[in-house]
Amino acid sequence: MPVLITGPNGAGKEVLADIIQANSSVRTGPYVKVNLGALPHDLMEAELFGTEAGAFTGARARIGRFEAASGGTLFLDELATLEPLGQAKLLRVLQTGEFERLGSSITRRAPVRLVAATNADLRAAIRAGAFREDLYYRLNVIE
């Protein structure tokens, strides 16, 4: 089950994510942290899902953060900075447990526990059309 942590800057969202990881059934697996706000938007898809050689000029085969976190936890901080295409791809992973690397048609499994955090008011972002409502409800299972 995915986890969504919300709160203002400095509230300890990452500390809470660390506690969730340390007490989860996948605690012995990898724990991969990604600050989405620090990633350039044009690299976000490659960073999360990986790339195949030749996917774009100079691209080499590289695993993404979902593969790196396989069997463990993927922590996505600053979730609200994810652009619409990234939101759609994240929703697909949550719905199916599958993704493709950039430049590949091979479907890969994503057996990860997803923990996401944001300081943004996602409900307001939904009303403004900046965040997908279906993704919000897929992440915010328990409030």
Residues 6+ apart with CB under 8 A from 33: 14, 17, 75, 77
Whether 141 has a pLDDT exceeding 80, the answer reads: no
Q: How far does Cα 108 stand from its chain's mean position?
A: 15
Per-residue pLDDT, 61: 87
- CB burial of residue 105 (10 Å; 0-12, 13-18, 19+): exposed
Confidence of residue 143 (pLDDT cuts 50, 70, 90): low
Superfamily of domain 3-139: P-loop containing nucleotide triphosphate hydrolases (3.40.50.300)
Domain spans in the chain, listed from the N-terminal domain onward: 3-139
User: What count of Cα atoms within 13 Å lies in the side-chain half-sphere of residue 81?
Assistant: 18
Percent of the chain predicted with pLDDT > 90: 77
